[in-house]
Chains A and B, each alone.
Chain A
Amino acid sequence: MADSELERPFDVIVLGTGLVESIVAAAAARAGKRVLHLDPNNYYGGAAGGSFTLDELGQVLTPEWPASKTSSSTAAPSASPAAGSSTTDDKPTTALTEAACVQTPAENADSASSILREPASSQPLELERRPLPAAADRFYPIGNAVVEQPLASAADIWAPLARQSRRFTLDVSPRGLFSRSRIVELLISSNVGRYLEFKPVDQMCFARSEPAGEAPQPVPCSRADVFSSSAFGMLDKRVLMKLLSFCVALGPYLQQPTDASQVDPDVLAEFTRFKDTSLVQWLRAERKLSPKLLYIVLYAIAAVDESSTGEPLSSRAALTVEQGVDRLCQYLSSLGRYSRTPMLWSQYGVAELSQAFCRLCAVFAGTYILRADLASMLVSSSASPSTPADTCATESVSSPTFAGFVDTEGHHMLAPWLVASPEHVLPASAVARDHPEAIVTLRAILVTNRSVFPAVGLKDQAAGDASNAATEPGAEESSADSATPAPAPPVNPDARISFVCIPPDTYGNRHLVHMVELGANAGAAPAGAMVVHLTCQAFASQLTNPRAAFGGIVAHYFDHNAPSSVRPVVLWSAYFDVLTNAPAVAAQTDTPANVILCAPMASDSSIQNVAEEARAIFDRIFPGEPFLPAAPNPEDITWDAPSEATSDSTALDSTLDAASDAAPASSSTDPTAAVLASDTIPPPSVAFGEVAASSSDAVSPTSLPEPN
C-alpha cells in the first residue's frame, strides 16, 4: 500500500527538513498539492538547523560516516575516462566532474545505458539515473568542529550533568525571532504558531570594553528608559528621539514602498537622498550621533558588523541607510508586542519551527520519509528527448530536468519539482570552503555553571522589567531604569534568556558577536547548567578558526580552570563553523532548472528571511496559489456527512476558507506606529497567558455536537 502511494507522481518533492524546505512543503500541501518530504537524517531541521541533545550534538558535529567512503575512493581512477567524456559541455571543473561519477562507476555504466519506463507515468519517459553522492562524499555544512571535554577540576560538576544528555537542547544555529517579523506573521496567519511555544527574551544587552570587568549592560526598551537615563545628556536624548521618530515615520513606506503619500515629505527626501549610502556615515555625519549613542544604535539595535568609523571589516559592502533603517524599524516595532524586549526564543530549540511546518504538511496529507535512503536522481533530458542515451554524455545535454528519485530498494518517486537542501545533493568537492565569497557562521556552544550576569544586579534588573508605565520603544542607553514598584517577581539571572551584543574589537573579536545565554527559562539545559551560544559571521577565507575568533570573549567572561567565585566556569564546549551560502559558491552548474537549492539555516542570531525565501520558492513552483492560508482550528470543524468530511476536497476547501476568514488577519496598519502610540504594556506575567493544552482550565467553545 505504501509503495503504491509512492509511485503515484507527486507535485513536488522536498529533500531536507530545514526551515525553508519545511515551509515550502507545508505551503504546497496546504494548497492541496501532493507533497513528498524526504530527509536522509533521522531528525528534523537538517544538520545546520537541528536542535540536539548533548550526545546527539557530538555526532552531528563530527559525524562518523559509514564505511562506503573507502570503496568510492578506490573506485575513483576507473571513473576518470567517463568523467573526461562528460566535460565536453557544461561541466566547468574537473573536481565536480569526478565527483559526479566517482561514487559508483559500475552503476554509472549500467544506468547510463538503461532507460527506465516509469510504470506510474502515462507516457513513457526516458530517464537517466544520476547517482547521488554517498553520505561521506556529500557536502556537509558543518566544519572545523572541536568538542572539548571538561577539565578534571570541573569533573565533579560535569558528571551529573552529562548523564542528563536528553535534557539539553543545543541548537547548531540558535536564532531568536523578532516579535513583529515576517516569520512570526506567517506563524500567526498560517495557524502554525499554535504548535509552538516561545519564551520572551528576558533582556537585550550590549558589551563594552570599558569600564573593565563590567557586566553586559541592558539596552533600554522603552521611552521611559531613555528619558530616565542618567547616562545621556539632553542632547543625546533629543538626537536619539529624532532618529527614532524618523524611523517610525518611514515605517509604512518601508512596508509598502509604492505608497509614499503617508510619509512626511522631509523624511522621505532625506531617506531618498541617503538610502544607498553608508548607515554609519549617515548616523555620524547627518544625524550627529555622539560616539556613545552611535555605539548602541549601531551594534545593540541594528547589529551592524562594521567598525564605528565606517570602515567595513571585510570586503562586504557597508550596510546602507535603507537596510539599517529597516533593521531599526524591525527592532522598534517588535518592542512590546509580546514582552518588553523585541525577541522571542523557541522553546525546545529552533528545529521546533521546522517540525511545526512539517506537522502542518502531514496534516494536509504530505508524505514523510525520514532516514530516506536515496540511490540516484532521475533526470530526463527534455531538450533532446530523441537523443539516444548512449554514453555518459547524456548527462551533459544542455537542459536536464529533474524527474524524481530512486531509493536503495528500487522505489521510484516522481515529481516535476525538487526543493532540496544542498547538503543532500551536492558533492563535497563541488563546494569550495575557500571560495572568496564563501561566508561561514562561526560558532561556539559552551555549557557553564552559572550566568555571566552578577546576582547583585538582580534588584535593578527586576525594577527595570517592571517599568513599563510608558511605552515608547527604542531607546538607547544603559544605566538604571526608572524604578517603579515591581509587581513582577525577581528573576534569577540563572533562569534568564539573555541576548548580548558584543561589538567588533570589544574583546579581541574582529566581528560583531552575538552571545545568547540560556538559563532555566529556555529549557535548554538541566538544572545547574547554562548554555551559552556565540555566533558571528565572516568570510571563510578570512577567518576560519572559531576557537581563536571567540578566544578573547571566552577568556573575558569565563574561567577554564577550577570553579571560581569570580566568573562562571566552562564545563563543556564545542567550536565549529557552518557554511551559510553553499548554493551561491557551489561549482555545480548542471543542476537541473527544476531543482531549487535552499541555503542552510545559519545566519546571525535572528531569522528574518526564511518566510520570504520560502514564499519565493512556492510562488515559483505554484504561481497564483495562496501561500499558507490559515489552517482550520480542529475545534471549529463540523462533519456533516462522512463522505464529505474526508474525501470531498471541495467541501473541505470551503470549510477551510471559512476558517481562514475567521483567522486573525495580520495587521495591515503600521505596527511601528501602533506600538509607539500605545501607552502601556502590562507586566509580563499578564501579557502571555494562553494556557497549555494539558492544563485543566483551558476552555473554548466547540461546534461539535454530542453523539446521541
Chain B
Amino acid sequence: MKEYLFKVLVVGDIGTGKTSIIKRYVHNIFSMHYKATIGVDFALKVINWEPDTVVRLQLWDIAGQERFGNMTRVYYKEAVAAIIVFDVTRVSTFEAVQKWKFDIDAKVKLSTGEDIPVVLLANKCDLAKEGLVKNSAQMDKFCEDKGFAGWFETSAKENLNIDKACRFLVTKILENTQSNQPAPEENGIIRPGGPEPKQEAKGGCC
C-alpha cells in the first residue's frame, strides 16, 4: 500500500470561488454564503487513487484576507502543485492570473528546481462569460505560453469538472514524484509540538 501526502495551493483573486471549489471537492457541498475561511490552514481530500495507492491532498486556501500582501513563506513551502482560480464573469480576475502564476513560480520550486505544476480553473462557468475564456483555442495557447499544466472550466455550484481538474493535477504531481526523492536533510528537523523524543524511562535513579 502506497500513501502520498501532497500540499496544493489554491490561489486567485477574492470572490473567484476558491473556497467554494474546495468545499465542493472535499465535502461535496455548495453554499452561496461562505465567508472568509476561518481557523484552518487546509482542507484534506483523501483519494483512493489506485487499488494500492491512497493520495491525501491538502488544499491550502489563501487564509482569510492575506490577499493584500505577500503571503508568508509558511504558506508556500513544500507545496507540490497549485490551482489558480479566476471568475469567468470578471475579466479583472483573469488579468490577475499571471500575477499569481508569477508569484508561485518565484516562491516555490520542486526539489529538482523546476516550477510546480499549476492548473488554471475558469470558475463559475455556469454564468455568462467575459473575455478570453470565450475562446477555448486562445485559452489553450495562453496556458501553453504561460506554463500552465492545463485549464478547466469549472462550476462549484453545478459541480462541473472539479474532480476532473484535480485528478489531472494529481497525475501531474505523481509524474514528478517518481523522479523526486525526498530530501535527505529532512532528518533531524524539529517541530515544536510534534512528537518529542521518548526519553523519560522514568524511575531511573541517579
Contact = CB atoms under 8 A, between A and B. Distances in A.
A393 interface: no
Contacts of B39: 363-364, 631-632, 637, 652, 655-656
Interface stretch (B72-80, B118-126, B141-149): B72-80
B190 A344 contact: yes
Given A197-B190, A352-B73, A697-B3, A363 B68 contact: no
Interface stretch (A130-138, A306-314, A675-683): A675-683
B23 A194 contact: no
A547 B15 CA distance: 53
B34 A359 contact: no
A5 B75 CA distance: 23
A688 B189 contact: yes
Interface string A350-376: 001001101100111111111100000
Interface in A148-201: 184, 187-188, 191, 193-200
B46 interface: yes
B26 interface: yes
A39 B72 CA distance: 13
A123 to B, nearest CB: 27
Interface in A491-550: 520-521, 523
Contacts of B197: 337-338, 681-682, 686-688
Given A338-B196, A694-B182, A200 B44 contact: no
B139 interface: no
A337 B3 CA distance: 31
Contact of B190 (A44, A191, A647, A688): A688
A691 to B, nearest CB: 7
Nearest to A197: B189
Contacts of A235: none
B204 A690 contact: no
Of the candidates A223, A336, A347, A690, the one having the most CB atoms from chain B within 10 angstroms of its own CB is: A690
Contacts of B27: 639, 704, 707
B180 to A, nearest CB: 9
B23 A366 contact: no
Interface in A685-701: 685-699
B189 to A, nearest CB: 5
Given A1-B14, A679-B204, A704-B46, A471 B199 contact: yes
Given A193-B194, A686-B197, A363 B182 contact: no
Interface residues of B, number: 69
Interface string B16-40: 0001000100111111011111111
B57 to A, nearest CB: 11
By Cβ-Cβ distance, the 5 closest A-B pairs, closest first, are: A370-B69, A679-B204, A193-B192, A707-B28, A687-B197
22 contacts: A187-B193, A191-B193, A193-B191, A199-B188, A362-B63, A365-B36, A367-B64, A368-B65, A371-B69, A472-B206, A646-B34, A678-B204, A685-B188, A686-B197, A688-B194, A691-B186, A693-B5, A693-B58, A698-B5, A702-B44, A702-B46, A704-B46
Given A520-B185, A634-B42, A643-B31, 18 more contacts: A5-B65, A198-B192, A355-B74, A358-B72, A363-B63, A364-B64, A365-B38, A365-B65, A634-B41, A637-B39, A647-B35, A678-B202, A681-B197, A685-B187, A688-B190, A695-B186, A704-B26, A704-B43
Interface of A: 1-2, 5, 39, 42-44, 184, 187-188, 191, 193-200, 223, 336-339, 344, 347-348, 352, 355-356, 358-359, 362-371, 470-472, 520-521, 523, 631-632, 634-635, 637, 639, 641-643, 645-647, 649, 652, 655-656, 664, 674, 676-682, 684-699, 702, 704, 706-708
